[in-house]
Structure 1
């Protein structure tokens, strides 16, 4: 139920076959079988049924609904969006000699559902992420049953629905697609004139025959094989892009992004290109992760959020970011990156962390306030904290005027010596006289028992500060609030 709008939930709950069901509502309605268990579909208005069918997590269930009744079969053609996922269990059954004859081919299901649809505006097809763990050694044939960017397959259904389509997502099966160069971009650009959002993953793409798509505003390419001239063609044919996500796009040597309307960009570079260039006069948000570029040229004067993760920042050149307010830096050589942005007078929120390196690195907390004079919120990652604590152990913490502007600190740390850590925290508290919030997040590699030593002494030392304590568990942060 959580995925449905409140008005829709109220409408459904007002029509239960037994009012006692109201006392035990299901957590969500994701599969058609749950709908049949709790509600009589015949009692619901057609528009409501179509809304429910459009929200099925896997539209393969739509085929089961069509078999259930004539009315559902008819209404299934009115759905506005479909989502097809080939699960690992389906894949295994389709390969097993005992079950493969009883499994409907994945492409056949897609063709049947899309062929029956009359007004689709969103299509998403793909394989489950778990199939990414299948190695080439596990595949002993040259099958194309899950080659989803195959132009011959897409031609069977795309021309029938392209008129209303505004969103298209295809996530291919890499083992079958990586050695087949697909012309799907040409087919999409010649058919889908009103497409606004396009996502393609796990494929080798050709830009031959790519036509301009002036209405396309959101493009995601994930784990795609391209070349520099291909990316140049993307710049030319998608001039209205406002959101661009390039995740693990391989084959690029000196890639350039030059998009005048781009506002948000995520770019993770999996190889080590010679240079990267971004020219985007309207870019506001940028997340960039690269290895060791020979040079990185950024021309984005309106940038306000920048997350940069780089192994070597010595070749980076920027024209200055007068509107930059939120900056996140990750590097084995943090000090070189800090110098690149100095003086960062506009930055208010700063996050720093040091990446693992084979060489000895040194990061002092004072360097942050030498480079950024007006920071009010600071987030310190575990490696950066360790380096800063070691620097403090050797020479203390020098005073800076900028320290007095700091109001919030979030620190993720591994405690090796409780007394040294406490001395470092106390020194920060003494010099950050306007600090009102401090959060300590313990790294999972640390000993959680140290909180017993840190919490009472920190809260007693500075009762004016609102303290938050947490444990980092993977991507989840568990917090508990202590203090005023």
Structure 2
């Protein structure tokens, strides 16, 4: 190929390879490919489960090139790298401790000696760095890789570290870093405080399953987008971010929750139960997604309401049988009077039906702002389900679009009868039909019947 194509076209082709192991093969195929490949500006190398298994087998042990060796070679053969992603495939997470020798470090990718061997060669031009470690080898080894990265990667904009036990000792300020992802990482509260201090210009922060935190605080003045999935049950959880626009927060039931995010526009909150909540007023909140096993306590705790235009609601499975799960649609309308788009998850709709059977729709006023509804239905009693739908249509005088997903286990005769009656009785409504089942993706069948 190198004899017939210009170098610029070869470089363009090589730059489109998503797996850098293919790039490594090209480098040994010909002198031309080896030369041109040095100008590729990224490395994306992932250890797959099949490679891992081959490297552990008797016959493959001496035939499979060590993963770290391939990576080192790629770095050595590169002239200017702007992006590096090295890691293990998610499928390796299924390997048990009993199947691994503790002394192995061939996939310990946050090993400070390993990183020292290649990072100084590429740090000058590096903008993106992702290291996804092999948890079974990294979880009992505390790594100081953050200090090394902060000492030499002065132009780094995005950093991801996954499946590691991290130390913040020696961490230096990185004022140019704007995006940070820490996923399944061991930290302590003082470590998170150090992150706040040394990464002051973060605009995007993702903390997923970060363990070891008891009273974590995020205090970042420039933060705009935040994903925080808390796997344990901290005593308190605080976010101070005056410019935060988008927040996805998933936690269990912290005793204290403090949010000072006045400019929040898009908020996804998954919370089992609200304890002591302190929230500054949301001035611009438009999109709200709520998941809780105690919906009413969430509503009482948060100063939500008039600004919400798009609302999505569902109930979490409760670990406490006595938890009050009441979700009355009329009360929901009273709290969110200006919603124009409403989505009800499976458990939310089930609770709405339960409340409707007991007392109808409590709201006595018309919902003039509501334009569209999406709901996940289980049709146990077709007349009850129809009564709710018709009651909503009578209350919501400007409602023009209903997207209804029927559970896959509802028999086809019942589903067809339900669909027919809805479309005949309210022909002016734009109906959309689909099917749903927990654990699978929703399937849409038709539009505008």
TM-score range, shorter-chain basis?
Answer: over 0.9
SS in 2 for 1:155: helix
| Aligned pair partner of 1:259 in 210, 213, 220 | 220
1:41 CA drift (Å): 5.1
8 Å Cα contact 1:374/1:402 also seen in 2: no
SS in 2 for 1:405: coil
1:410 CA drift (Å): 0.8
Structure 2 spans left out of the alignment, 5+ residues: none
| Aligned pair partner of 1:476 in 437, 441, 448 | 441
Paired residue for 2:334? 370
Paired residue for 1:27? none
1:442 CA drift (Å): 2.9
SS in 1 for 2:357: helix
1:251 CA drift (Å): 0.1
Paired residue for 1:159? 120
Paired residue for 1:411? 375
Paired residue for 1:288? 249
1:457 CA drift (Å): 1.0
2:412 and 2:206 map into 1 onto residues whose CA distance is 38
Paired residue for 1:6? none
TM-aligned CA distance change 1:144 to 1:423, over 3 Å:
same
1:63 and 2:24 matched: yes
The structure in which a higher percent of residues are helix is 1
Provide the TM-score with structure 2 as the length reference.
Answer: 0.96
TM-aligned CA distance change 1:209 to 1:403, over 3 Å:
same
| CA displacement, residues 190-240 of structure 1 (integer Å, 9 cap, x when unaligned) | 010000000000000000000000000000000000000000000000000
1:435 and 1:129 map into 2 onto residues whose CA distance is 44
8 Å Cα contact 1:302/1:322 also seen in 2: yes
Paired residue for 1:19? none
User: How well do the aligned residues superpose, as a CA RMSD in angstroms?
Assistant: 1.5
TM-aligned CA distance change 1:450 to 1:189, over 3 Å:
farther
1:175 and 1:110 map into 2 onto residues whose CA distance is 20
| CA displacement, residues 251-299 of structure 1 (integer Å, 9 cap, x when unaligned) | 0000000000000000000000000000000000000000110010000
8 Å Cα contact 1:463/1:483 also seen in 2: no
1:405 and 1:92 map into 2 onto residues whose CA distance is 58
SS in 2 for 1:403: coil
2:172 and 2:380 map into 1 onto residues whose CA distance is 59
Paired residue for 1:198? 159
1:402 CA drift (Å): 5.7
1:465 CA drift (Å): 1.2
1:380 and 1:263 map into 2 onto residues whose CA distance is 27
Paired residue for 1:244? 205
Map 1:153-232 to 2 at 5 A.
153-232=114-193
1:324 and 1:479 map into 2 onto residues whose CA distance is 29
Map 1:389-400 to 2 at 5 A.
389-400=353-364
1:224 and 1:445 map into 2 onto residues whose CA distance is 40
SS in 2 for 1:57: coil
| CA displacement, residues 162-210 of structure 1 (integer Å, 9 cap, x when unaligned) | 0000000010000000000000000000010000000000000000000
